[in-house]
A and B are shown apart, each in its own frame.
Chain A
Amino acid sequence: MSALLEVDALSKHYPLRRGVLAPALTLRALDQVSFRLEAGRTLAVVGESGSGKSTLARQLCFLETPTEGDVRLDGTPLASADRATLKRLRPQVQMVFQNPYASLNPRKRISALLEEPLAINTTLGASGRRSRALAMLERVGLSAEQAQRYPHMFSGGQRQRIAIARALMSSPRVVIADEPVSALDVSVQAQVLNLLMDLQAERELTYVFISHNLAVVEHIADEVLVMYLGHVVEQAERATLFARPRHPYTQALLAATPRLGQPAPANPARGEAPSLLAAQQGCAYAGRCPHAEARCREEVPRLRELEGTRVACHFAERISATASSGTPAR
């Protein structure tokens, strides 16, 4: 099976202007990220604030132009694509955002929000657009009568259903969901996750699912990509990653995630992610890593294959052999 989405050494750097005379700084939000995702699968992207998850999402949707590297959608490279190609491909990659209170235009009726992608991307007439929008609204669990209402008349969970409906209006193949359930209550979160999984099965959707919630990721993902300060530190199939986390950061994340009925970790991982602007040498995680040695502070670890896992750590063999604290009991 060939990959639907191929990401090749993707980097995104933002210049930061600090004043007229001060030298410009570069914020390296995303550094040399590569992965392949096959059609119909769900890749979860995991990491804390500043890890580059949302920057990655924006590059995948071609909302921004990457500084280096490329994204290939079904073999078509996007960095060198002309405007006509991009316009043709845009409907195939759609996004669902975290905050359903901010991502829906408060001045537009739900029907207008859902019909807009069709007006832009198809030649459908008004009645055709209307019937497609109503059908989609019913598919995500709302009623056709609600189409004439405004976003403020809906709860958070209902708004996220509307946002999902809007993303699906252009019949995308890839959906990028950036923390789609983080703003929702537990009971509503389960409804929306079920909807996403049902829609994936029905429409053979490919998901890039960005989340900081490992319990949700463990439920929904086929494979998991762990990011830290713009770098991929580990990638593996879901079961492999949760059973045998290789990178010390992945181990720390798993250990820190609260689990029902288990005591809080007595010695949680220390420190916080440093600023992306801080000068970096060697491994980005070295400053917090309990296993760091001199080599970690000098040499950037390359992402490499280790028994089915891709991991960026010089000492992954040794660490994963000794560490058990990060592994949830199964």
Chain B
Amino acid sequence: MSLLEVRNLTVQFGPRERPVIAVEGLDLELDAGEVLGLVGESGSGKSVASLALMGLLAPQARVSADVMRYDGRDLQALSARERRALLGREIAMVFQDPHASLDPCFSVGDQLMETLAAHHGGPRAKLREQALDLLRQVEIPDPEARLKAYPHQLSGGMSQRVGIALAIAGNARLLIADEPTTALDVTVQAQIVALLLRLQRERGMGLILISHDLALVSQLAHRVLVLYAGQEMEQGPVPALFEAPRHPYTEALLRALPEHNRGAARLQALPGNVPAADARPAACLFSPRCPHAQARCHAERPALEGPGDARVRCFFPLADAQRHPLGAPA
């Protein structure tokens, strides 16, 4: 049984008669101990989808799904009380901006102990011990001193470590990390990535890693789901998806990377822009920018085809012979 199973997740904003569709018909499955990469450009719906799972969207967002099951439990049928007991505890999230996700008015220790008290309570001395232990687990040097520190006294990397400590404080089994290293320097990013992976392995957590950085996702994820304008375009295991992408959008994204254009004067850029949420074609979402588009692509929307772990939303998925050879990555 999957740890997480979501069928036909749709998130809409704005007036009902003219809705802005942020996520459309998204299916997600994740096993315990698995790392799923959620990849897409701005406006692809990757963050909205994760916030919908966490129940963190504003009330005016309209979230619907045929199935939304965590560990056999129907998330949509839970009472508010049961939901609160689950979200933030077993299902937890690490956010992009570590400074914005910590409260500037309270010390690191206060925030950790408040979280632990909400999860299981207990005497203050015991909570303090647990907070210290969490800081050790996220490899913060001198944890005793850090317990008294305020967020503004921490570097970005240290703040993100605290953010991770808060997320695992309730013994999370499913962790959603939304661009957890985007705000960090590259050497610090490498440290945070190593930390996340170690915790994920040790605790057997399911991890959904949301990122725009294809190279980063290729290093961490077992399976990758590519989103474009709110819809899944392709899903596949790593490294197959990166070595032999079947959707023209995935291929175009990979070809636009500088590391695939070594020695070439120009990058192989993808023309045009992601269509705005109110200007999406009724046909294939990618058809206006697709170099392989045919008449049918401009007329109707393709469905996802293929088995769950290697499916593609394209009438004419790329065969090996069609695919432009990618320059060998370094």
Do A216 and B194 contact each other (CB < 8 Å), given the known contacts A186-B41, A191-B269, A328-B330?
A: no
Most buried by B among A186, A216, A259, A263: A186
- Complex contact A261–B239 (CB within 8 A): yes
Contact of A272 among B188, B214, B218 (CB under 8 A): B188
Do A260 and B242 contact each other (CB < 8 Å), given the known contacts A185-B212, A186-B41, A268-B194?
A: yes
How far is it, in angstroms, between the C-alpha of A186 and the C-alpha of B189 when the chains are bound?
Answer: 19
How far is it, in angstroms, between the C-alpha of A255 and the C-alpha of B189 when the chains are bound?
Answer: 11
How far is it, in angstroms, between the C-alpha of A40 and the C-alpha of B82 when the chains are bound?
Answer: 64
Q: Which residues of A contact B186 (CB under 8 A)?
A: 48, 212, 214, 253, 256-257
Binary interface profile of B, 215-229, with partner A (CB < 8 Å = 1, else 0)?
A: 110111000000000
Do A264 and B185 contact each other (CB < 8 Å), given the known contacts A187-B256, A259-B215?
A: no
CB distance from B240 to the nearest CB of A (A): 11
- Complex contact A186–B185 (CB within 8 A): no
For chain A, residues 151 to 201, give those with C-beta under 8 angstroms from any C-beta of chain B: 155-158, 185-191, 193-194, 197-198
Q: Which residues of A contact B123 (CB under 8 A)?
A: none
How far is it, in angstroms, between the C-alpha of A329 and the C-alpha of B262 when the chains are bound?
Answer: 13
Chain B residues touching A, majority SS: helix
CB distance from B118 to the nearest CB of A (A): 30
How far is it, in angstroms, between the C-alpha of A186 and the C-alpha of B218 when the chains are bound?
Answer: 15
Do A215 and B41 contact each other (CB < 8 Å), given the known contacts A48-B187, A262-B219?
A: no
Q: Which residues of B contact A187 (CB under 8 A)?
A: 41, 252-253, 256, 269-270
Contact of A264 among B197, B242, B270 (CB under 8 A): B197
Q: Which residues of B contact A106 (CB under 8 A)?
A: none
Q: Does A258 contact B (CB under 8 A)?
A: yes
CB distance from B219 to the nearest CB of A (A): 4
Q: Does A266 contact B (CB under 8 A)?
A: yes
Binary interface profile of B, 154-195, with partner A (CB < 8 Å = 1, else 0)?
A: 011110000000000000000000000000011111110110
Q: Which residues of A contact B252 (CB under 8 A)?
A: 187
Q: Which residues of A contact B187 (CB under 8 A)?
A: 48, 252-253, 256, 268-269, 272
Give chain B's interface residue range (CB within 8 Å of chain A): 35 or more
CB distance from A42 to the nearest CB of B (A): 13
Q: Does B59 contact A (CB under 8 A)?
A: no
Chain B interfacial positions (CB closer than 8 Å to A): 41-42, 155-158, 185-191, 193-194, 197, 212-216, 218-220, 239, 242-243, 252-254, 256-262, 265-271, 273-274, 329-330
Smallest Cβ-Cβ distance to B40: which chain A residue: A185
The 25 sampled A-B contact pairs (Cβ below 8 Å) are: A48-B186, A49-B185, A186-B214, A187-B256, A190-B268, A212-B185, A218-B262, A219-B258, A219-B267, A252-B187, A253-B186, A255-B190, A256-B189, A258-B213, A259-B329, A260-B218, A260-B254, A261-B243, A265-B190, A265-B194, A267-B194, A268-B193, A272-B157, A328-B330, A329-B330
- Complex contact B185–A48 (CB within 8 A): yes
How far is it, in angstroms, between the C-alpha of A198 and the C-alpha of B269 when the chains are bound?
Answer: 13
- Complex contact A259–B194 (CB within 8 A): no
CB distance from B202 to the nearest CB of A (A): 15
Q: Does A83 contact B (CB under 8 A)?
A: no
- Complex contact A185–B269 (CB within 8 A): no
Q: Which residues of A contact B268 (CB under 8 A)?
A: 190
Q: Which residues of A contact B261 (CB under 8 A)?
A: 219
Binary interface profile of A, 237-278, with partner B (CB < 8 Å = 1, else 0)?
A: 000000000000000110111111111111111101100000
- Complex contact A261–B218 (CB within 8 A): yes
